[in-house]
């Protein structure tokens, strides 16, 4: 017997000590898996933090020293990168120690990551948020994500797609609970900055692109804000308010840790050679591209099938993950001029992303049990290409009808984004067998890490290119004297003013000649065309996937079959 099973300090966490007794109901396992995935799935609500973190000093609007949207978006990307890296290494560890030990470590990392991130917010040190939420929290994401996958596949060999869809559905639905919770916590802990008066009543000067007010106490940095849902238009002192982000991080870290610890202790693994009552395994091998043979974790990397599936997952995720990271911002920028698009509407849009993401995971994974994984991915790519190409049309057309079309198109995209994650574990089990599927799945999630960089990079880089071009075009149309009067600096300081968040597209539109078209709605067009192109590549890769050759199976590469776990 191993040390862990004979009284080691953490033996109660090890796989051999959580084997289910005869008569155990396998349906007790999915709720624990769903609970952990719903906790870590709140990462999909990250875009709700974007406005708060980009206004941490200005509160009502961004100040000169506030973090930019592009720098904050990369926190989400960092978490996804570390998710994939942790899953790649943790997947093999999972096969050794079992899901309970992995789930416990995940709880410490995910909950602790929030606490470290809160320190970064309080001290205004962005690198601490990257370290906490991004790196430490990302490790918790990866370990929590893989902890139930191979276990569920072994508990449900007769319903592989449905089983993994149930757990991974929780990850997609994490924002459904997380989004309203985060909004409520932010609002509860927020404090408005000191109001100095209407812009016309305050003496303002501009230095190095920033605005300052002359007060009885001396010169202080300020921001000039338009009216918002919670603040009136006017001048506010920088650094005197609170967005509530730090307190929100602390609360979430504690709550998620407790829930994940409880769920981890509910995990059980099936006994060796356990099978569902009355199940005949030959029903699987009668299906095309489903094998009972096994491929070792390390050997899987030597097959073209692994890398083709890697491309399939990576490009499907890249196309969706960048949009999810800035979903709320994109909705406001494209359709913000419609009366229907209020702050509540945009927040609900984020919630509905979670709902459709979650629903798609269970729906598409279950469908894949009937039509096959490869055919399911064909649907993802063909429909996705059409829908991504439709978004620029809806954005340019404008109006309520276009908003409805945009809403429907993005929601279908998010069902397929989530469905891709839920279908992949069963796809791997079909191709490589179930013996090492947890470890292989963990390594495949490096595709998610790559997509976590590619998606946000593409959407922010292409958007920023479009934004800079639009600002330069608008600035060329405004009256130079009016520009200098409004912003306290001449046009030749445009770059500095933009960097300090003093000049924006919306503020330039106030000075633009009558009839000037607001370019905001078209900022994401180039990105959508690029995403459609990636889906074409994914479609080709999926077409090329075939059954694994006999030479890669365990009995041929290792001399004898590996022992069942």
**Domain edges within the chain:** 13-191+241-267+293-477+516-555, 193-240
Counting DSSP H helices and E strands in the chain, the numbers are 23, 5
Residue 3: what pLDDT? 43
Distances in whole angstroms, Cα of residue 446 to Cα of each of 33, 95, 309: 21, 18, 12
| Contact status, residue 109 vs residue 136, Cβ threshold 8 Å | yes
What is the fold, at CATH topology level, of the domain defined by 13-191+241-267+293-477+516-555? Answer: Growth Hormone; Chain: A; (1.20.1250)
In 3D space, the residue among 487, 463, 474 whose CA is nearest the CA of residue 329 turns out to be 463
Helix (H, G, I), strand (E, B) or coil at 66: coil
Distance of CA 120 to the CA centre of its chain: 21
* Unique residue bearing structure tokens 């449900």: 156
With b for 16 or more beta-carbon neighbours within 10 A and e for fewer, the 352-380 pattern comes to bbbbbbbbbbbbbbbbbbeebbbebbeeb
Longest CA–CA span in the chain (Å) reads 85
| Contact status, residue 331 vs residue 353, Cβ threshold 8 Å | no
User: How would you write the pLDDT of the chain (565 residues) with one tens digit per residue?
Assistant: 344 444 567 788 888 888 888 888 888 888 999 999 999 989 988 888 988 999 999 888 888 888 888 788 889 889 988 998 898 888 888 888 889 999 999 999 999 999 999 999 999 999 999 999 999 999 999 999 888 887 888 888 878 788 878 778 888 778 788 888 998 999 999 998 988 888 888 888 888 888 888 887 788 988 888 877 677 888 888 889 999 999 999 999 999 999 999 999 999 988 887 888 877 666 555 456 676 788 888 899 999 999 999 999 999 999 887 676 666 677 777 887 788 888 778 778 877 887 888 889 889 988 988 888 999 999 999 999 999 999 888 888 878 898 899 899 989 998 999 899 889 988 998 899 877 888 898 889 889 888 878 887 887 788 888 888 888 889 888 888 888 888 888 888 888 888 877 888 888 888 888 888 888 778 888 888 888 999 999 999 999 999 888 888 875 444 333 333 3
**Burial class of residue 563, CB neighbours in 10 A (0-12, 13-18, 19+):** exposed
Report d(CA 381, CA 377) in Å as an integer. Answer: 6
Residue 560: what pLDDT? 38
In 3D space, the residue among 440, 317, 313, 368 whose CA is nearest the CA of residue 165 turns out to be 368
Report d(CA 116, CA 249) in Å as an integer. Answer: 9
| Contact status, residue 274 vs residue 434, Cβ threshold 8 Å | no
Report d(CA 32, CA 193) in Å as an integer. Answer: 43
Residue 533: what pLDDT? 92
| Contact status, residue 502 vs residue 483, Cβ threshold 8 Å | no
Residue 559: what pLDDT? 39
Distances in whole angstroms, Cα of residue 257 to Cα of each of 105, 182, 252, 253: 10, 16, 8, 6
Residue 141: what pLDDT? 95
Beta strand 234-237 pairing with 218-225? antiparallel
State the DSSP string of 172-233.
HHHHHHHHHHHHHHHHHH-BPPPEEE-GGGS-EEEETTEEEEEETTEEEEEEEE---SSS-S
> Whole-angstrom distance between the N-terminal and C-terminal Cα of the chain?
14
State the DSSP string of 293-311.
----HHHHTTSHHHHHHHH
| Contact status, residue 249 vs residue 121, Cβ threshold 8 Å | yes
Two tokens at 173?
């639905």
Phi, psi of 213 (to 5 degrees): -120, 140
Residue 564: what pLDDT? 34
| Contact status, residue 323 vs residue 534, Cβ threshold 8 Å | no
Residue 243: what pLDDT? 92
Report d(CA 128, CA 117) in Å as an integer. Answer: 6
Those residues whose C-beta lies under 8 Å from the C-beta of residue 264, and which sit 6 or more positions away, are 32, 36, 99, 100, 103, 104, 106, 107, 147
Two tokens at 185?
């916590």
Residue 1: what pLDDT? 36
In 3D space, the residue among 539, 537, 540, 557 whose CA is nearest the CA of residue 548 turns out to be 557
The DSSP H or E segment spanning 40 is helix 29-40
């Amino acid at each position: 017997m191993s040390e862990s099973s004979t009284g080691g300090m953490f033996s109660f966490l090890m796989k051999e000590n959580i084997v289910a007794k005869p008569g155990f109901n396998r349906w007790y396992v999915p709720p624990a898996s769903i609970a952990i995935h719903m906790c870590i799935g709140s990462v999909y609500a990250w875009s709700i933090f974007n406005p708060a973190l980009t206004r941490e000093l200005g509160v009502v609007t961004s100040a000169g020293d506030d973090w930019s949207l592009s720098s904050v978006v990369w926190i989400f990307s960092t978490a996804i990168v570390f998710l994939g890296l942790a899953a790649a290494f943790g997947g093999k560890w999972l096969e050794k120690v079992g899901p309970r030990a992995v789930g416990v470590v995940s709880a410490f990392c995910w909950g602790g990551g929030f606490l470290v991130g809160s320190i970064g917010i309080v001290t205004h040190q962005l690198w601490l948020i990257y370290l906490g939420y991004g790196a430490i929290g990302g490790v918790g994401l990866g370990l929590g994500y893989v902890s139930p996958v191979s276990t569920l596949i072994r508990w449900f060999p007769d319903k592989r797609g449905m089983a993994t869809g149930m757990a991974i559905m929780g990850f997609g639905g994490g924002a459904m609970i997380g989004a309203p919770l985060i909004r409520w916590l932010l609002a509860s802990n927020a404090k408005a900055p000191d109001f100095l008066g209407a812009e016309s009543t305050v003496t303002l000067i501009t230095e190095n692109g920033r605005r300052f007010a002359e007060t009885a106490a001396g010169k202080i940095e300020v921001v000039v804000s338009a009216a918002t849902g919670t603040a009136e238009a006017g001048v506010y002192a920088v650094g005197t308010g609170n967005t509530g982000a730090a307190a929100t991080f602390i609360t979430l870290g504690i709550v998620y840790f407790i829930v994940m610890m409880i769920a981890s202790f509910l995990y059980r693994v099936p006994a060796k050679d356990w099978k569902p009552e009355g199940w005949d395994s030959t029903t699987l091998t009668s299906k095309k591209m489903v094998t009972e043979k096994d491929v070792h974790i390390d050997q899987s990397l030597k097959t073209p099938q692994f890398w083709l599936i890697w491309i399939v997952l990576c490009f499907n995720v890249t196309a969706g993950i960048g949009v999810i990271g800035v979903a709320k911002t994109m909705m406001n920028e494209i359709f913000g001029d419609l009366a229907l698009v209020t702050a509540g509407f945009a927040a609900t849009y984020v919630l509905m992303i979670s709902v459709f993401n979650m629903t798609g995971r269970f729906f598409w994974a279950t469908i894949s049990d009937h039509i096959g994984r490869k055919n399911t991915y064909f649907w993802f790519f063909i429909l996705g290409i059409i829908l991504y190409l439709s978004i620029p049309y809806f954005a340019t057309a404008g109006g309520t009808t276009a908003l409805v079309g945009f809403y429907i198109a993005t929601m279908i995209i998010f069902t397929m984004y989530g469905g891709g994650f839920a279908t992949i574990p069963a796809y791997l089990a079909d191709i490589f067998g179930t013996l090492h599927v947890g470890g292989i799945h963990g390594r495949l999630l490096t595709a998610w890490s790559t997509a976590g960089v590619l998606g946000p990079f593409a959407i922010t880089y292409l958007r920023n290119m479009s934004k800079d071009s639009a600002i330069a075009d608008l600035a060329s149309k405004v009256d130079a004297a009016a520009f200098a009067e409004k912003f306290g600096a001449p046009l030749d300081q445009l770059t500095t003013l933009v960097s300090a968040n003093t000049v924006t597209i919306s503020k330039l539109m106030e000075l633009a000649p009558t009839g000037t078209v607001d370019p905001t709605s078209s900022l994401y067009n180039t990105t959508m065309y690029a995403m459609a192109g990636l889906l074409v590549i994914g479609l080709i890769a999926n077409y090329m996937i075939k059954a694994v050759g006999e030479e890669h199976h365990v009995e041929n590469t290792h001399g004898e079959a590996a022992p069942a776990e």
